[in-house]
Amino acid sequence: MTQAIQPFRAALAADFGRAHTALLQEVHDRILDLLAGARRYSIRCANGTRATMKLRRGHLLPAAPFTTGSAPIMIIPPIDTAALNGRLVFTHALTSTGVHEYPAAEVPLATPVTVMVESGRIVELSGEPLLVARIEAHFERIGGLFGGDRRAVFSWHTGPRDTRFYLCGEAPGEVSATVFDATVTFDDQVIWRNGQLVAFDSDEILELAARHGVDPATLTTAC
């Protein structure tokens, strides 16, 4: 257990993990205001992810509140993918979203898996053939357990480095899949570049940092 939590201790010990909570809350809220007014987003990554969606009103989906406050504060609410089109490249592993418990919830991804999406549904999987077959069987098994659309892509949310997509079953989804180090653009503004939140570079955020007595050099999600 101690070994498992070491990465989390390291993250909390980093400058970003120790940043002023009130400042991070203000930054978080201003980012949400920007996202809520956008008309389009795109997600890209070096592995080949290229996906876009025109936004409709209410694209920021409601999220259940945490029982206790979280720190650092920088995870945005889920964003709708009902009209998402393009290519997503998942790495590392498929895991459970935590909506339900089920056995063998994790599928390690020894190699990247490419997922083609049309109007918020998976239309094609490609990659190492045995791994693709295992993923297909995984989706079928979960559909059998919980019903719903085995190929649905419901939403995504992002924080430092990882952009998580919720897939399969009934909303909000049973499977979590990850695109790492994505560049995420809303309208013409880059919000995350290669997995790092670049909103911290704006004059407005630098002024907020000064107001809270925070060294702007500590405002980085790099780890």
For residue 67, is it within any domain?
A: no
Per-residue pLDDT tens digits for 154-202 = 999 987 789 999 999 999 999 999 999 999 999 989 989 999 888 667 7
For residue 152, is it within any domain?
A: yes
For residue 155, is it within any domain?
A: yes
With beta carbons less than 8 A apart as the criterion, state whether 151 and 122 touch: yes
For residue 91, is it within any domain?
A: yes
For residue 14, is it within any domain?
A: no
Mean pLDDT across the stretch 113-132?
98
- Domain range for 126: 41-58+75-199
For residue 30, is it within any domain?
A: no
Residue 83 to residue 95: CA distance in whole angstroms: 24
Q: Is the pLDDT of residue 211 over 90?
A: no
Split into its structural domains, the chain has a count of 1
For residue 31, is it within any domain?
A: no
For residue 204, is it within any domain?
A: no
Model-level pTM? 0.83
What's residue 32's pLDDT?
Answer: 83
Please list, in sequence order, all residues whose beta carbon lies within 8 angstroms of the beta carbon of residue 72, skipping any fewer than 6 positions away: 16, 17, 19, 21, 24
Q: Is the pLDDT of residue 66 over 50?
A: no
Give the closest residue to 83 by CA, choosing from 118, 40, 123.
Answer: 118
Q: Is the pLDDT of residue 75 over 90?
A: no
